[in-house]
A and B are shown apart, each in its own frame.
Chain A
Amino acid sequence: MMVRCKMYNSFGFKSLAAMLLFFILSISISFNYRHMANTLSLYRTVKRLGIPDERIILMLVDDMACNARNKYPAQVFNNENHKLNLYGDNVEVDYHGYEVNAENFLRVLTGRHKAAVPRSKRLLSDEGSHILLYMTGHGGDEFLKFQDSEELQSHDLADAVKQMKEKPCVSYHKTRFKELLIMVDTCQAATLFSQLHSPGVLAIGSSMKGENSYSHHLDSDVGVSVVDRFTFYTLAFFEKLNMYDNASLSSLFTSYNPTLLMSTAYYRTDLYQRKLEEVPVTNFFGSVMETIHTDLAYRTTRSRKTSETKMPLQQSVEHDERRQLINSNVQDQTSDTKIEDKQCPFTRRWNAFQDKLEKIERIDSLVNYGLIIMFPLLLISTWLSL
């Protein structure tokens, strides 16, 4: 039994040099079990190939595992043989529930978070990173659905990617990635990346415009479809690999069979400079660090002569200073001091008045007194006017 369009969104990012992997999933109704299973299976694969949790951002609406309608509580399967519990151990979801929305997604991509957002929820990529962005859910012509209430349009995605990477005309250009691979598993997936025009971006979608993407099989025990075809065949490809392999991206892309997928997996390489045959899949799906051997230690003859009994007092003072929590709001301080100089006298006096007001401790009682005084004033003025 085929189910037509998916109803969730699922995303995954991953980047290297710092490899980050990032998934999103947005669910709000059941019959969307398979999107969560899609995302978690790819998450598991990518972790197996070496990417750590701190480099993965997983956005999952995450209400299937503990849903009252799930016959196997706290378990999510992607195959009817139930061999693998995807939700088993060590699943770190960064964005849950209502946090999975288009705004947060774009914030993660562009890096425009509020200051209090922790590092685990940020895309910590730099100019040398390779990012994998995997999205699954319900989509259509030039849009992707979030949580049944919002849509992400293809031009929004293209704008966000453009902001991540300016054209490399000077050497110190502002970029958040070196290469980006976008995988989309929704209906009419290829339309989502039709507006991209930033260099270094590779994109593959599970279906073309006018085509649907289908689920793979139905699990009659759980009662819903458990995995989508595109993701199923992607996982099958990766099951054969381990960390040391260097299968190329072109072998991955050409492994999709349109008859089996029941749609055409379309990919665009016009923005990507390198040849697909030369790019190993572990560049995006696995973690391969660039390493340089350390030739020599930095030895100082003086350090050998340092007497062990020396306990420098002044160093311990500095040490304490360093250990304090440093509030790094430099720009607030500079802006405050600069603002004061440039104000007119009225504003200065008003601000001084406001500062004084703030310093009054029992401002509440002052306000109450003021309100109480109003009544006699009112009475007197009414009596006078009569």
Chain B
Amino acid sequence: MSEISPEVPDNRQDAPSHVDPNSTRITKPGVKRLVLTLSVLFSLVLGFPFLWKSVEIYRSSLPFGEISEMESNPSLSFPCRFQAVFINFNSNPSPNHLQLSILDKITELTSNSSQCGACANDLALSVTVDSISSCTQTHPTDNSNYYRCGAISAVDFDFSNDDDDGVDELLESVLGVKNVYSVVVVNGGGEGIRAVVGKYRHAWIVGSVEEEEEESVLVSRVAEIFVKMFVNGGTENGLIHGEFMPVGADRRIVLSFNLLNAEPNDWVYDWDFQRVDETLLAPIIKVLGPIANISVESQVLYHTPKSSFSYWDEKWKSYIFSTKDLPFFVNSNEWHLDTSIAAGGRSKILQFVVYVPSAKECPLSLLLPTGEISKTNGFISPMWGGVVVWNPPGCLNSETNHPSRHTMSREDLQAVFEVFMGQFRQLFGLKSNNLYIGASGTYHLLPSGKGFTEWELDVLSRQFACFNLHSCATTLGSLSRLVQSLPRMIIMDEIGKLVQFSLEAAKLAQSNASLGDNESSAGQARSLAEDAFFHPSIMSISYYSFEHCFAIYSPFFLPVSMHVLLAALREWKRYKQEKAKYTAWKAKVKVES
């Protein structure tokens, strides 16, 4: 039997019959759908910052402010400490008076040179007058390194002008301090004034001086030694033209020595390079250690003719090539010089070539524009190296037809290496003249067995430090400008660290220089800056452009977010509508009741 459910009373009859479902509704509108869509939209919006952060270009922060500060002022100021000792002056001039006049002269000589390394700011001079009866000194601020009275006397000086080396050693044992340059002026000996600059950091002037006006001559000579020698290195404008520093970016130089046999069918020459390397080159390399890391290679090449022409000259009895042929001498097609394996990508290679001419062109001599024959038979090309033409002995008269093997004799090799030394110094900007003719007189310069005297090394290291610091500053400046111009380029941490270390090394170099301690921080700063600038990851073609980013992410997020947004808007609109309907009904009910 099926049950018949009792009739449900029809409540709807109680409800007002004029309800319009389009404009009113009885129940409160539900919020579930609205909450659902809004929560989805919210989570999308909430996740957006995370997305943004995750696609951010990683750029290690570079200290742009510090870099531009360094670039505007990349200068090194070296302190200059001088002392002058006057010995055996019976007229007993006052040291303070001498000090003032020497200082005047020095300022006069340095007034027109504003290059790095000149004693612009920090100059101290101490003068001592030491005679048998008395000894007076000006008082320098730190007198630990300066001359002690009575250390040198006039009898130590050999007035016969023979033993310059002995005097040099003696003075070095008395005066030898690292940062102080000294000039010893001795009254005595024969006529005239003779000035010698030693191998270390001192010079001496010997002469018999009695009158007053000759004192001013001495003062000007002392000042000239200080400025022209010890500060400027024996040249007018400082050593090297700023652009051409023959040191690689990684502070390495490779010296490549090549012996070229132009025509092996005539004769073949070999050389005992090992011995030369050990005895002649090793001290030079050691002494240049603070400036550059030098390595040496050598090779012997055959069938290497030169590419310029020469002609026979009866007057000189040799084949002549002139200075106009020099640019075409190096036959790059047949001289395979740059075959170094040890040289890294950023080292500098200097080529030194000994050219042995063929029998058809032997002896080969270089004719200078002045009409004389060159004594060295060699030339350099800046930043490339040097060439020496060496004629085998007796080649004019030799009648050999078959190839003969010889080894260069010790004396010949020595002579050739002396020319090399001159060329090497020339590449660094130093002259090899033993006599310097200055405004106040001539000076004898003692040559050093190590290739460079200590004061020359000081000048070189100062100039190199200046150049390295400038180079570091401009490199860092270029890097910061490059990085700022490409805002979407990835900058790796390594570059940031290199920049930071480079700046630290540069600051260290600046502070060390002002203390007078010259070491290799500036070189390290430059090398680090170049590593940062030439880092292989800085490739502008592969930076992450905005279009690229948009093209990757929009297919994921655009359709979804569009739908979610539209849904939320629709639900919101619907909710508002229903709410409005409900409020209308409630108002109506209120009115009716």
**A contacts, CB < 8 Å to B:** 17-18, 47, 50-52, 54-55, 102-103, 106-107, 110-115, 117-119, 122, 126-128, 156, 159-160, 163, 166, 170-174, 243-244, 287-303, 306, 308, 310, 312, 315-316, 318-319, 322, 325-326, 328, 330-331, 334-335, 338
A301 touches B447 (CB 8 A): yes
Scan residues 441-475 of chain B and give those whose CB is less than 8 A from a CB of chain A.
447-449, 451, 467, 470-471, 474-475
In the assembled complex, B414 has its CB within 8 A of some CB on chain A: yes
Minimum CB–CB distance from A107 to chain B (whole Å) comes to 7
Minimum CB–CB distance from B140 to chain A (whole Å) comes to 34
Residues of chain A within 8 A (CB-CB) of B338 are 52, 54, 119
Contact A298-B432, Cβ < 8 Å, known A115-B345, A156-B540: yes
Residues of chain B within 8 A (CB-CB) of A310 are 279
Minimum CB–CB distance from A276 to chain B (whole Å) comes to 21
B531 touches A331 (CB 8 A): yes
Residues of chain A within 8 A (CB-CB) of B478 are 163, 166, 174
**Besides A294-B380, A330-B527, 18 other A-B contacts (C-beta < 8 A):** A119-B340, A126-B383, A128-B244, A290-B381, A291-B380, A292-B379, A294-B376, A294-B426, A295-B431, A296-B376, A296-B422, A300-B448, A301-B447, A303-B449, A306-B449, A318-B286, A328-B344, A331-B501
**B contacts, CB < 8 Å to A:** 165, 242-244, 250, 252, 277-280, 282-283, 285-286, 293, 295-296, 307, 323, 326-330, 332-333, 335-338, 340, 342-345, 366, 368, 374-376, 378-384, 386, 388, 410, 414-415, 418-419, 421-423, 425-426, 431-433, 447-449, 451, 467, 470-471, 474-475, 477-478, 481-482, 494, 497-498, 501, 524, 527-528, 531, 533-536, 538-542
Minimum CB–CB distance from A344 to chain B (whole Å) comes to 17
A50 touches B279 (CB 8 A): no
7 intermolecular pairs with C-beta atoms under 8 Å apart: A127-B243, A288-B327, A291-B326, A291-B327, A296-B431, A300-B447, A303-B280
Contact A292-B501, Cβ < 8 Å, known A299-B447, A319-B277, A328-B252: no
A295 touches B433 (CB 8 A): yes
Complex Cα distance, B419 from A14, in Å, reads 32
Residues of chain A within 8 A (CB-CB) of B382 are 290, 292
Closest to A50 in B: B332
Minimum CB–CB distance from B162 to chain A (whole Å) comes to 11
Return the contact of A294 from the options B252, B423, B531, B540 (Cβ within 8 A). B423
B447 touches A315 (CB 8 A): no
Complex Cα distance, B283 from A95, in Å, reads 41
A297 touches B376 (CB 8 A): yes
A294 touches B474 (CB 8 A): no
Minimum CB–CB distance from A16 to chain B (whole Å) comes to 11
Complex Cα distance, B346 from A115, in Å, reads 9
A-B pairs, 5 with minimum CB distance? A52-B332, A298-B421, A172-B470, A297-B418, A291-B326
B242 touches A303 (CB 8 A): no
Minimum CB–CB distance from A337 to chain B (whole Å) comes to 11
B423 touches A306 (CB 8 A): no
Closest to A169 in B: B474
Contact A173-B418, Cβ < 8 Å, known A51-B332, A291-B327, A335-B501: no
Return the contact of A166 from the options B296, B425, B474 (Cβ within 8 A). B474
Residues of chain B within 8 A (CB-CB) of A126 are 243, 383
Residues of chain B within 8 A (CB-CB) of A17 are 383
Return the contact of A334 from the options B242, B451, B501 (Cβ within 8 A). B501
Closest to A323 in B: B295
A293 touches B323 (CB 8 A): yes
Minimum CB–CB distance from B505 to chain A (whole Å) comes to 9
A172 touches B474 (CB 8 A): yes
B475 touches A174 (CB 8 A): yes
Contact A294-B422, Cβ < 8 Å, known A52-B333, A315-B282: yes
Closest to B72 in A: A170
B539 touches A50 (CB 8 A): no
Contact A296-B432, Cβ < 8 Å, known A156-B541, A166-B474: yes
Minimum CB–CB distance from A72 to chain B (whole Å) comes to 26
Return the contact of A322 from the options B242, B285, B344, B481 (Cβ within 8 A). B285
B279 touches A306 (CB 8 A): yes
Minimum CB–CB distance from A170 to chain B (whole Å) comes to 6
Complex Cα distance, B246 from A18, in Å, reads 13
Complex Cα distance, B177 from A239, in Å, reads 65
Residues of chain A within 8 A (CB-CB) of B418 are 297-299, 303
Complex Cα distance, B386 from A54, in Å, reads 18
B252 touches A338 (CB 8 A): no
Residues of chain A within 8 A (CB-CB) of B293 are 326, 328
Minimum CB–CB distance from B305 to chain A (whole Å) comes to 14
Return the contact of A163 from the options B345, B451, B482 (Cβ within 8 A). B482
Return the contact of A50 from the options B307, B414, B535 (Cβ within 8 A). B307
Minimum CB–CB distance from A47 to chain B (whole Å) comes to 6
Residues of chain A within 8 A (CB-CB) of B244 are 127-128
Complex Cα distance, B421 from A303, in Å, reads 12
B451 touches A308 (CB 8 A): no
Residues of chain B within 8 A (CB-CB) of A166 are 474, 477-478, 481
Complex Cα distance, B164 from A302, in Å, reads 12
Minimum CB–CB distance from B503 to chain A (whole Å) comes to 13
Return the contact of B328 from the options A47, A106, A288, A294 (Cβ within 8 A). A288
B374 touches A293 (CB 8 A): yes
Closest to A163 in B: B482
Minimum CB–CB distance from A225 to chain B (whole Å) comes to 30
Return the contact of A114 from the options B368, B426, B536 (Cβ within 8 A). B536
Residues of chain A within 8 A (CB-CB) of B497 are 335
Complex Cα distance, B382 from A171, in Å, reads 18
B243 touches A128 (CB 8 A): yes
Complex Cα distance, B382 from A17, in Å, reads 8
B470 touches A331 (CB 8 A): no
Complex Cα distance, B388 from A318, in Å, reads 28
Complex Cα distance, B289 from A102, in Å, reads 40
The winner among A54, A290, A294 for most chain B CB atoms within 10 A is A294
B380 touches A292 (CB 8 A): yes
A244 touches B328 (CB 8 A): yes
Complex Cα distance, B492 from A335, in Å, reads 14
A294 touches B539 (CB 8 A): no
B432 touches A297 (CB 8 A): yes
Residues of chain A within 8 A (CB-CB) of B386 are 294
Contact A318-B524, Cβ < 8 Å, known A17-B383, A47-B333, A328-B250: no
A296 touches B375 (CB 8 A): yes
B328 touches A103 (CB 8 A): no
Closest to B343 in A: A119
